Amino acid sequence: TMCKKKVVVNTRGSEGIGKALVDALLLLGAKVANCARNQDKLYDLQKLHSGKPLHTIVADVSNYNDCKNFIETTIHVFGGIDILINNAGISMRALLKDLDVEVIQKVMEVNFNGTLFCTKLALHSIMERKGIIVGVSSIAGYRGLPGRSGYSASKYAMHGFLEALRTEMIDSSVHVMWVCPGFTSS
């Protein structure tokens, strides 16, 4: 299969879509690197996939140094990166008139900066391997949703960034894409 022996980096694979991706990728024979903020959930994931090529590390993608450590240790453990899945994200629900701007800043730091940091740090390796960069986004990146102004803004920013990068990479054999899944309970 396409994933056999590929090194796939996934952010926030401790629950929801991210965990489903880790489970499926390991089943397909990929080597998977995964980060999340919750040490206990990462430990449970390691236990669940004992003996499989799974590298986990505690990291907050809104922190550049955490991302640097995650990407560098992944390259050290697996030798490079073929696919980066920028899955980490947080949401918010409040009308702008009722919220503190720090809420939107935090959403932007995780959803946009996390994608920026991990993509920039992994780009050289992905270019060497003619790999794939994926952004897990939302319909909120195409339509501003009331009560989700910060979330929509972060997904619009992700789309613009990835679309620009896709054009920059057009002659490099690096594929850049974003996916917009429907509602998930996590």
Which strand (E) or helix (H) includes residue 177?
strand 175-179
Q: Is 64 a catalytic residue?
A: no
Sheet architecture: strand order including 175-179: 54-58, 31-36, 7-11, 83-86, 132-136, 175-179
Task: Give the distance, in angstroms, between the CA of residue 100 and the centroid of all CA atoms in the same chain.
Answer: 26
Helix residue spans in 109-148 (DSSP H): 114-128
> Considering 64, 142, 151, 156, which one is annotated as catalytic?
151
Torsion sign, CA atoms 8, 4, 48, 90: positive
The dihedrals phi and psi of 178, each to the nearest 5 degrees, come to -135, 145
Q: Which are the contacts of 95, defined by CB distance < 8 A and separation ≥ 6?
A: 146, 147
Structure-token pair, residue 167: 């054009």
Which residues does the annotation mark as catalytic? 151
